[in-house]
Amino acid sequence: MNQSEENKKKVIVRVCIGTGGLAAGGKEVIEAFKKAIADFCVDIDLDFTCHYQKVGCRGFCARDVLVDVVDGDTSVTYQGIKPDIAKRIVEEHLIKGEPVKEWLIDDSYHAFHAKQLKILLKDCGTIDPEDIHAYVKVGGYDAIKKILSSMIPEDVIAEIKASGIRGRGGAGFPTGVKWEACRKAPGDVKYIVCNADEGDPGAFMDRSIIEGNPHSVIEGMMIAAYAVGSNLGYVYIRAEYPAAVDRLKLAMAQAHEMGYLGNNLFGSGFSFDLRIKLGAGAFVCGEETALIASIEGERGMPRAKPPFPVQKGLWGKPTVINNVETLSNIPYIIRNGAAWYSSIGTEKSKGTKVFALTGKVKNTGLIEVPMGIRLGEIIYDIGGGIIGDKKFKAVQTGGPSGGCIPAELLDTPVDYESLGRVGSIIGSGGMVVLDETNCMVNIAKFFLEFTQAESCGKCVPCRIGTKRLLEILDRITKGLGREGDIELLEGLCAGVKSASLCGLGQTAPNPILSTLKYFRSEYETHIREKKCPAKVCKDLLTYSIIDAACTGCGACKRACPAGAISGEKKKPHRIDPEMCIKCGACFDTCKFASVDRE
Amino acid sequence: MAGLATVFGSGAMTNSIPEIVNNDLIFVIGSNTTETHPIIGLKMKKAFRKGAKLIVADPRRIDLVRFADLWLRQKPGTDVALLNSMMHVILRESLEDNEFIANHAEGFEQFRASLAEFTPEVGEKITGVPKAKIREAAVLYANAERAAIYYTMGMTQHTHGTDNVFSIANLALMTGNLGRESVGVNPLRGQNNVQGASDMACAPDVLPGYQKVDALQVRERFEKEWGVVLPGKAGLTATEMTEAALNGSLKAMYIMGENPVLSDPDMRHTVKALKNLEFLVVQDIFLTETAALADVVLPASSFAEKDGTFTNTERRVQRVRKVLTPPGDAREDSWIIAEISKRLGYEMKYHAMEDVMQEIGRLWPAMAGISYSRIEKRGLQWPCPTSDHPGTPYLFKGGFPRGKGRFTTVPYRPSAELPDGEYPFLLSTGRQLFQYHTGTMTRKTSAIEAIAGGRPYVEIHPDDAARLHIADGQKITVSSRRGSIEIAARITERPLEGMVFIPFHFTEAAANVLTNTALDPVCKIPEFKVCAVKIEVS
Amino acid sequence: MVKVTIDGKTATVPEGITVLDAAKRLHITIPTLCHHPKLSPFGGCRLCLVEIKGVPRPVTSCTTPVADGMEATTTSPNLENLRRTVLELVLSDHPNDCMVCERAGDCTLQELAYSYGIRENRFEGERRTYAKRDGNPFIERDMEKCIMCGRCVKVCEEVEGVGAIDFAYRGFKSKICPPFERDLDCEFCGQCVAVCPTGALTGKLWKQKGRQKDVREVETTCGYCGCGCNLTLHVKGNEVTRVDSKAETLNEGWLCVKGRFGYSFIGSTERLTTPLIRREGKLEPASWDEALDYVAGRLKGIKEEHGSDALAGLSSARCTNEENYLFQKLIRAAIGTNNVDHCARY
Amino acid sequence: MSEILDDIIARYREKDGNVIFLLQETQEALGYIPEEAVGYFSKKLEIPSSRFFGVVTFYSQFHLKPRGKNIISVCCGTACHVKGGSKIADRVLRDLALSAEGETTEDGKFTFEIVRCVGACSIAPVVLVNNRAYAEMSADGTSKILREIKKKESDESK
């Protein structure tokens, strides 16, 4: 590098390499930029140097790969970038100064962000998660420094209590109260555990936070540790999240190097260190006591409460377990004050909540909204409505522990109490939108399949009860449902809910109960008429070809894996119902809508 | 057991089994407790769960080692050196209980001097246990609140078995670890009624209740009760009987429920002795190896076919009840004894078995308070002198029967026969979990035979096996100066290198073909635990 | 000490005990299946659920410690309904073969099904089916009857310190098995059999040896090692059909493989059933009178010829106190020598 | 193998390790959990084998048999399910001629697994091929990927 190189202006190309970004080719995009620049360098003496910044999830995964080009004070965002577009951006934008209009973000991008309030996700998509200085630059580790220099633990707890923050892992227990209980529990050795075993299908906010802003979690844990009197923390994280694990390890190493983890932090006498424990793939380990068992190296079978972990947790010592999102909020609360935080949200649910908005909405992605926003606003304003402008049917919140909320309740505010009232929960923040082509019995069955497979097997209601629930649902979707099945489901759901040992079993019936509550007629149609109104349940469907519409192109015949379709060219074809395996290949293949599914 | 009796005036477990769970330090030396006394093993495990520390001193990696905080792997036969050097450390670090010594013991000063030479360095040299571990064990034991020592035949079946027991007693006396709940010295008795058989004086020098035969007043009391004149000269011990049979001075033997052919050392020697008798009567439930040599065999009863009592290792007298009639013409042992006695002109008159118990109580005050009705539900531990006495869970609460406990100076003496060039391996013998003694009962129990029967084995260290090119399960020949057996090798890290171990239950490859008849000079116990053997690959 | 009220009855109980134990002190019975007083609490069967004032959902009384002022209810329509549901669920995954089950009449599950009068079961569906395989001669493991209470796992770990079995897999497929589902390879103490509340674990030796009727139970003391465990012999006719031990004994009901399973030697066909006298080198059957007269005659003869000390007796540490006493008395009083010893010397 | 396992044990002793750590490292090094490895750990560490087996079979991460060269994981989390993940799973089964999830093809080239949410719900349905995520997949698209891998495999073996 010669002197002139150093004097050149710096252009930053910021690329999303969250899971969505990676899957869409984030890394390849960076390589393409590098290659394009190198190619141009051969012929032209560029008047800038290009720096690359990999950032975590920016939320709008549906438009990945998202690329920011930052040139001095101006920042331009591109969406849907593929590697082959990089060359054009380099040539037209970086060299000639003309942004490439057709790939610039559009209105949907703005609409997606308009109603969001980003606290956690703000830094998540902008700072380099692999550089501790990036976090420090935006105020990172100020909160812990502030605490260590000016607050006693009880003050910290009071501040957290005043902020009103409640656990973001599912149950919504007030965080400050939990800390206080642990602080007061007798014992010299206490632990802080960060629950990053995000197991809910349809939720990925914790992963995104760790990938995008790992230091905020570490700082949150430090604050919690100081408040309860702990010197050692564990991050229990899914082994299935290798990128997040690597980020976290790197962040820990950097924090150690900077003296932010270890002994006598900032000369305060307070020491704190962290260890990582990899979860080995068991949903139930999201449950506090199962998680403790797992950290101890045991089968993740929940233990009876009381005693609660804050009294007798890891290795029998008082332990606070908070989830990633909760901990990540803590530094922001300390930095900006409890009053600021509690001004956001509703009376009982404070702050913002991150949701994974997925399913049949146009704008899928990770969103952060103030508590109290209405469901409809999320789905229509942020989510942009239903794909293909189909009819909205329900939104499933809270994963396998949650429920399905129908169209008539879209005005429901999103907070702990309101969602509870309509039979669902906020949970960890999964929000899956369903449209008219989704069968609600099938959805309930899907969740029961999940909980049944993930039941640890310790207690009877969950081990056998969820199995029996699933079997009843299965026979209903197969056209073998009987009168009385709905009542049987209701009775057993009630039993499993109140008799199960842990949260998994206690909430497993929720998807059934909420679909029964709002979509009972769908169950009845399955049972009495042996029909699936949404045309999902395979065994209740028959495929046939509408002679009048069939052109005899033969596409369906070629697609049929069972050889059930016959017919001469250019003449209407026939499906042999005996041979048909109801896979739907013909239906999907036919370009003339001549396959009838009933 | 003579050792403990000499020191304290009584030779039995000082504590009871339920006290084990409250130990905070358990020192197991020469006892494979979990295999030989499984239920006592469970109590120990319960204590470990409650936080008790465990020191195991054993040349073999026995199962208990899994639970041990400290494992001292002494060479077989070097226990005295190990214990002496532990005591050396205790004195050096002033951990002894001077108050206890002053009030309850005698002969300390002389004894103290004898320990001077047993530095941990010397201990390490003799025993092979690192001196740091010797020190650690000494400190752990001396500092514990509720320490108890447990030992069995690993201590006693040596030519210096009595010395070993003296050493254990010295250690306990020095630290004042006696006379309290969960604190004491506990020889675990190997068989269901060893304690009872000893109490009942099936022993040549005492009458029931450890009352000396040579004491005139004692004899007079018995003569009065029994109505005969009793001999005042001590008789022969079991091992002396074998010698007497060989030299012809003993002509006839009546053996009840015992199988010395398999259980005594040097099997060929034993068989020769028994064959040399003019007349041999054996009373048993099976045709044992010994019964097969008899002139008359009398069919007797199993424990389920008779009424009576057993006294377990903690001195607890418990009921045995008749639930079956003996098979065929078999009879209860007591009936047989009485019939023979009658035919010898001495009639034994009892209406019921309990009459016998009452007679015992009249002659031995420690059992005077025990009657069948009192032990209907739960047994009582002697001493129990009166019918309202609750029994005695632990001994020496107020002091020792002989007044003060006596320190005994114990020099280190090597075992009688140690490995040499010709017989380079050290053989130790003992039991395994599934079998019992000579197998008279267990080997006739088909389920046990299926899992652990008919497969005698010799444990050999992997390094030795590798050196001799022995494969696991391979038949090898083990020979001593007395005989040789063919037996399957079991390669395991349980024994020390240079050491082999054979369980003695199996007649097919009887360990006691090999063992040495050398006796402890006091107790006349043979040295089952150490002899020299060689190994040849067949 | 804390004050608790259970079903309206108030008592002062030690701090730290469970609601279940407190109820026991008040003579209130709460149904249980997985609970065992000597093992750590599990809370898996959910039968012992109770309602506690101020607690939103029922809690298991076997795991919940008492608190001062606690008010608990052990029975209510809701609780009984839950218990019934739980039992029906358990039975829906349990073979319906009490008629041939070795545990019938001694089975907690059967007892509960009986007391709740469960004849019809609302639930049906897949039942776990396992091929029976276990190559050991002591313990029959019929895991289809296993209700996953975990007592066997805990007794093996907490009491025996062995850990030969553990829970494996999860959910409906969970089962208790030796590692890699191989045959049981352990100490065969049978503690697991003793604590199993159903027919999942039984003694192989018990098989078809008799049910409750005509079986007598007699308390006695084990004839093996020096521990002196208290045994209960189950006797039918003139045969010991089973051995176990009661929980309130000194050995707490625990036994070892020999004590629990090593009893069949009693009925061995190899037992000596008649006196034998050696004639021309061979041992031949004889009558008692013949044998006893012969023995007495020979002993008397030798004594007369060589003196009392030419005779000796060797007794046994396996015989009773009374027998040993009589034996030495015979040797001393009838023969007149102190040449008497026993094998305990070793 | 014992050298690998000894190394794992050494690291286990260094950290406040546990059974799960041992197994994770073993699987990382050997690709699965062989019975002999468990026996080895059990003997060296005096932890009953039954505990290892209990843990191995509890967590879905662990495998008792070697897995195929290529791991095809179809996500069947909620978002993927509502967008047709199960159809993709059916197709993979058919293409690889397997009868159930979790199986490995006879030639050892492919293992097919259903995973419960990989946390990439906004790009559902997702298929992971050797841990690389493919966004918004279809049954046909998956078939195409499988064909490509098969071709590459057969080219390599030539």
Please indicate, yes or no, whether residues D102 and D25 belong to a single structural domain of this protein: no
Residue A114 placed within a domain: no
Residue D65 placed within a domain: no
Whether A359 and D82 have beta carbons less than 8 Å apart is answered as: yes
Q: Where residue D154 falls among pLDDT bands split at 50, 70, 90? A: confident
Please indicate, yes or no, whether residues A462 and A381 belong to a single structural domain of this protein: no
| DSSP element (H, E) containing A113 | helix A107-114
C-beta atoms of D116 and A275 within 8 A: no
B52 vs C contacts (CB less than 8 Å):
none
Whether B329 and C282 have beta carbons less than 8 Å apart is answered as: no
Mark B228-243 as b/e (b = at least 16 C-beta within 10 Å): eebbeeebbbbbbbbb
CATH at residue C238: 2.20.25.90
What per-residue confidence (pLDDT) applies to C346?
45
Q: Per DSSP, what are the bridge partners of residue A275?
A: A234
Domains along chain B? 2-188 (3.40.228.10), 194-381 (3.40.50.740), 425-537 (2.40.40.20)
Which residue among B281, B323, B356 places its CB closest to the CB of C322? Answer: B356
- Which is more confident, A7 or A258? A258
Closest chain A residue by Cα to residue C48:
A499
C-beta atoms of C268 and B444 within 8 A: yes
Please indicate, yes or no, whether residues D43 and D74 belong to a single structural domain of this protein: no
Under an 8 Å CB criterion, which residues of D touch C? 35, 38, 42, 48-54, 57-58, 64
Residue A468 placed within a domain: yes
Burial of residue A173 (CB within 10 Å: 0-12, 13-18, 19+) is middle
Whether A261 and A273 have beta carbons less than 8 Å apart is answered as: yes
Whether C164 and C186 have beta carbons less than 8 Å apart is answered as: yes
Closest chain D residue by Cα to residue C182:
D50
Last residue of a domain, one of D58, D81, D101: D58
Judged by a CB distance cut-off of 8 A, whether residue A498 touches chain C is yes
Dihedral angle of Cα B222, B226, B227, B232, to the nearest 10 degrees: -40
- Measured distance CA(C128)–CA(A33) in Å, rounded: 58
Please indicate, yes or no, whether residues A523 and A546 belong to a single structural domain of this protein: no
- Measured distance CA(B483)–CA(B479) in Å, rounded: 6
Please indicate, yes or no, whether residues D53 and D74 belong to a single structural domain of this protein: no
Which residue among C165, C169, C170 places its CB closest to the CB of D50? Answer: C165
Whether B278 and B254 have beta carbons less than 8 Å apart is answered as: no
C-beta atoms of C89 and A461 within 8 A: yes
Mean pLDDT for all residues in chain A = 92
Written as six digits, the tokens of B459 are: 């444990």
Q: How many domains does chain D have?
A: 2
CATH at residue A461: 1.20.1440.230
Of the candidates B239, B235, B266, B90, the one whose C-alpha atom is nearest the C-alpha of residue B174 is: B90
Please indicate, yes or no, whether residues D153 and D75 belong to a single structural domain of this protein: yes
The SS3 assignment for A491 reads helix
Q: Where residue D17 falls among pLDDT bands split at 50, 70, 90? A: low
Query: Which amino acid, one-letter code, is at D89?
Result: A
Instruction: Say whether pLDDT at A451 is over 60.
Output: yes
- Measured distance CA(A479)–CA(B233) in Å, rounded: 98
Whether B232 and B213 have beta carbons less than 8 Å apart is answered as: yes
CATH at residue A417: 3.10.20.600
CATH at residue D143: 3.40.30.10
Instruction: Say whether pLDDT at C150 is over 90.
Output: yes
Please indicate, yes or no, whether residues D39 and D102 belong to a single structural domain of this protein: no
Q: What are the residues whose beta carbons fall under 8 Å from the beta carbon of C40, sequence distance 6 or more? A: C154, C158
Please indicate, yes or no, whether residues A96 and A180 belong to a single structural domain of this protein: no
Judged by a CB distance cut-off of 8 A, whether residue C163 touches chain D is yes
Please state, in angstroms and as integers, the Cα–Cα distance from residue B313 to each residue in A297, B39, B190, D61, D143, following that order: 41, 12, 8, 52, 75
Burial of residue B4 (CB within 10 Å: 0-12, 13-18, 19+) is buried
C311 vs B contacts (CB less than 8 Å):
250-254
Percentages helix, strand, coil for chain A, rounded to the nearest 5? 45, 15, 35
Task: Give the ipTM of the model, two decimals please.
Answer: 0.91
| pLDDT tens for each residue of B179-235 | 899 999 999 988 899 999 989 988 899 999 989 999 999 999 999 999 999 999 999
Instruction: Say whether pLDDT at A3 is over 50.
Output: no
- From its phi and psi, is residue A574 left (phi > 0), alpha (psi between -120 and 50) or beta? beta
Residue A117 placed within a domain: no
Q: How many domains does chain C have?
A: 4
Which residue among D55, D124, D134 places its CB closest to the CB of A358? Answer: D124
Last residue of a domain, one of D17, D35, D58: D58
- Which is more confident, C152 or D2? C152
Of the candidates D62, C204, A292, C148, the one whose C-alpha atom is nearest the C-alpha of residue B450 is: C204
Cis peptide bond upstream of A306, omega within 30: yes
| A260: Cα within 13 Å, side-chain hemisphere | 25
Q: Which domain holds residue C65?
A: 2-75
Judged by a CB distance cut-off of 8 A, whether residue C330 touches chain B is yes
Instruction: Say whether pLDDT at C28 is over 60.
Output: yes
Residue by residue, what is the 3-state secondary structure of chain C?
A: CEEEEECCEEEEECCCCEHHHHHHHCCCCCCCCCCCCCCCCCCCCCCCEEEECCCCCCEECCCCECCCCEEEECCCHHHHHHHHHHHHHHHHCCCCCHHHCCCCCCCHHHHHHHHCCCCCCCCCCCCCCCCCCCCCCCEEECHHHCCCCCHHHHHHHHHCCCCCCEEECCHHHCEEECHHHCCCCCCCCCHHHHHCCCCCEEEHHHCCCCCCCCEEEEEEECCCCCCCCEEEEEEECCEEEEEECCCCCCCCCCCCHHHHHCCHHHHCCCCCCCCEEEECCEEEECCHHHHHHHHHHHHHHHHHHHCHHHEEEEECCCCCHHHHHHHHHHHHHHHCCCCEEEHHHC
pTM (predicted TM-score): 0.91
Neighbours of chain C (3+ CB pairs under 8 A): A, B, D
| pLDDT tens for each residue of C197-254 | 999 999 999 988 887 778 999 999 999 989 999 999 999 999 999 999 999 999 999 9
Query: Which amino acid, one-letter code, is at C189?
Result: C
Q: Where residue C328 falls among pLDDT bands split at 50, 70, 90? A: very high
C-beta atoms of A297 and D59 within 8 A: no
Taking each continuous run of H as one helix and of E as one strand, the counts in chain B are 19, 21
| pLDDT tens for each residue of D21-69 | 999 999 999 999 999 999 999 998 989 999 999 999 999 989 999 989 9
C-beta atoms of C235 and B357 within 8 A: no
Please indicate, yes or no, whether residues A155 and A246 belong to a single structural domain of this protein: yes
Please state, in angstroms and as integers, the Cα–Cα distance from residue A475 to each residue in A246, A529, A534, C196, following that order: 44, 14, 17, 35
Residue C133 placed within a domain: no
Written as six digits, the tokens of B238 are: 């079991």
B437 vs C contacts (CB less than 8 Å):
318
Q: Per DSSP, what are the bridge partners of residue C9?
A: C6
Q: Which domain holds residue D122?
A: 70-157
Q: Which domain holds residue A388?
A: 352-435
Please indicate, yes or no, whether residues D118 and D79 belong to a single structural domain of this protein: yes
Please state, in angstroms and as integers, the Cα–Cα distance from residue A119 to each residue in A124, A216, A325, A335, A350, following that order: 9, 11, 11, 12, 13
Q: Locate tokens 């047993």: which residue?
A: B118
Judged by a CB distance cut-off of 8 A, whether residue B375 touches chain C is no
Of the candidates C335, A99, A237, the one whose C-alpha atom is nearest the C-alpha of residue B235 is: C335
Of the candidates C92, C195, C211, the one whose C-alpha atom is nearest the C-alpha of residue C151 is: C195
Residue D64 placed within a domain: no
Please indicate, yes or no, whether residues A592 and A455 belong to a single structural domain of this protein: no
Last residue of a domain, one of D36, D58, D80: D58
The SS3 assignment for A279 reads strand
Cis peptide bond upstream of C19, omega within 30: no
Instruction: Give the mutation candidate from D19, D47, D53, D65 for the C interface (greatest C CB count, under 10 A).
Output: D53
Judged by a CB distance cut-off of 8 A, whether residue C230 touches chain B is yes
Q: What is the mean pLDDT of residues A32-39?
A: 90
Residue A110 placed within a domain: no
| pLDDT tens for each residue of C116-149 | 999 899 999 999 998 877 889 999 999 999 999 9
| D130: Cα within 13 Å, side-chain hemisphere | 8
C-beta atoms of B286 and C312 within 8 A: no
Please indicate, yes or no, whether residues A200 and A51 belong to a single structural domain of this protein: no
C-beta atoms of A278 and D20 within 8 A: yes
Residue A57: count of CB within 10 angstroms of its CB: 30
Please indicate, yes or no, whether residues A333 and A387 belong to a single structural domain of this protein: no
Closest chain D residue by Cα to residue C167:
D54
Q: What are the residues whose beta carbons fall under 8 Å from the beta carbon of A434, sequence distance 6 or more? A: A359, A360, A392, A393, A394, A395, A396, A404, A440, A443, D82
Residue D86 placed within a domain: yes
Instruction: Say whether pLDDT at A57 is over 90.
Output: no
What per-residue confidence (pLDDT) applies to C195?
97
Please indicate, yes or no, whether residues A371 and A478 belong to a single structural domain of this protein: no
Judged by a CB distance cut-off of 8 A, whether residue A245 touches chain D is no
- Measured distance CA(A573)–CA(B73) in Å, rounded: 86
CATH at residue A569: 3.30.70.20
Residue by residue, what is the 3-state secondary structure of B3-53?
A: HHHHHHCCCCCCCCHHHHHHCCEEEEECCCHHHHCHHHHHHHHHHHHCCCE
| B317: Cα within 13 Å, side-chain hemisphere | 32
Show which of residues 486-515 on chain B sit within 8 Å of chain C, judged by CB atoms.
none
Please indicate, yes or no, whether residues C61 and C16 belong to a single structural domain of this protein: yes
Cis peptide bond upstream of A577, omega within 30: no
Residue A347 placed within a domain: no
Whether B436 and B35 have beta carbons less than 8 Å apart is answered as: no
The SS3 assignment for B129 reads coil
Please indicate, yes or no, whether residues D76 and D149 belong to a single structural domain of this protein: yes
Please indicate, yes or no, whether residues A510 and A377 belong to a single structural domain of this protein: no
Judged by a CB distance cut-off of 8 A, whether residue C16 touches chain A is no
| pLDDT tens for each residue of A73-107 | 888 999 989 898 988 998 888 888 889 998 898 88
Please indicate, yes or no, whether residues A331 and A421 belong to a single structural domain of this protein: no
Whether B106 and B407 have beta carbons less than 8 Å apart is answered as: yes
Please indicate, yes or no, whether residues D75 and D153 belong to a single structural domain of this protein: yes
Q: Where residue A6 falls among pLDDT bands split at 50, 70, 90? A: low
For each successive 10 residues of chain B (538 residues), what is the average pLDDT?
66 89 95 93 95 95 94 94 96 94 91 94 95 96 95 86 90 92 91 91 91 92 94 92 94 94 89 96 95 96 95 94 95 96 93 93 94 94 93 84 85 90 92 82 84 84 94 93 92 92 87 87 84 89
Please indicate, yes or no, whether residues C262 and C312 belong to a single structural domain of this protein: no
Q: Where residue A1 falls among pLDDT bands split at 50, 70, 90? A: very low
| DSSP element (H, E) containing A504 | helix A503-507
Percent of chain A past pLDDT 70, that is, above it, reads 99
Please indicate, yes or no, whether residues D17 and D90 belong to a single structural domain of this protein: no
Please indicate, yes or no, whether residues D90 and D50 belong to a single structural domain of this protein: no
Q: What is the mean pLDDT of residues C6-10?
A: 95
Instruction: Say whether pLDDT at C169 is over 80.
Output: yes
Please indicate, yes or no, whether residues A396 and A472 belong to a single structural domain of this protein: no
What per-residue confidence (pLDDT) applies to B443?
84
Say what angle helices B238-247 and B267-275 make with each other, to 10 degrees.
60
Residue D63 placed within a domain: no
- Which is more confident, A421 or A61? A421
Q: How many domains does chain A have?
A: 5
Is chain D touching chain A, with at least 3 CB–CB pairs below 8 Å?
Answer: yes
What per-residue confidence (pLDDT) applies to C213?
79
Instruction: Say whether pLDDT at A569 is over 70.
Output: yes
C-beta atoms of C265 and B302 within 8 A: yes
Instruction: Say whether pLDDT at C314 is over 80.
Output: yes
Closest chain A residue by Cα to residue D28:
A239
Please indicate, yes or no, whether residues A63 and A163 belong to a single structural domain of this protein: no
What per-residue confidence (pLDDT) applies to B10?
64
Residue A187 placed within a domain: yes
The SS3 assignment for B418 reads coil
Q: Where residue C344 falls among pLDDT bands split at 50, 70, 90? A: low
What phi and psi values does residue B261 have, to the nearest 5 degrees? -55, -45
Of the candidates B391, B248, B403, B209, the one whose C-alpha atom is nearest the C-alpha of residue B318 is: B391
Mean pLDDT for all residues in chain C = 94
Please indicate, yes or no, whether residues D42 and D74 belong to a single structural domain of this protein: no
Of the candidates A379, A385, A417, A419, the one whose C-alpha atom is nearest the C-alpha of residue A399 is: A419
Please indicate, yes or no, whether residues D74 and D17 belong to a single structural domain of this protein: no
Percent of chain A past pLDDT 90, that is, above it, reads 66
C-beta atoms of D82 and A443 within 8 A: yes
What per-residue confidence (pLDDT) applies to D157?
76
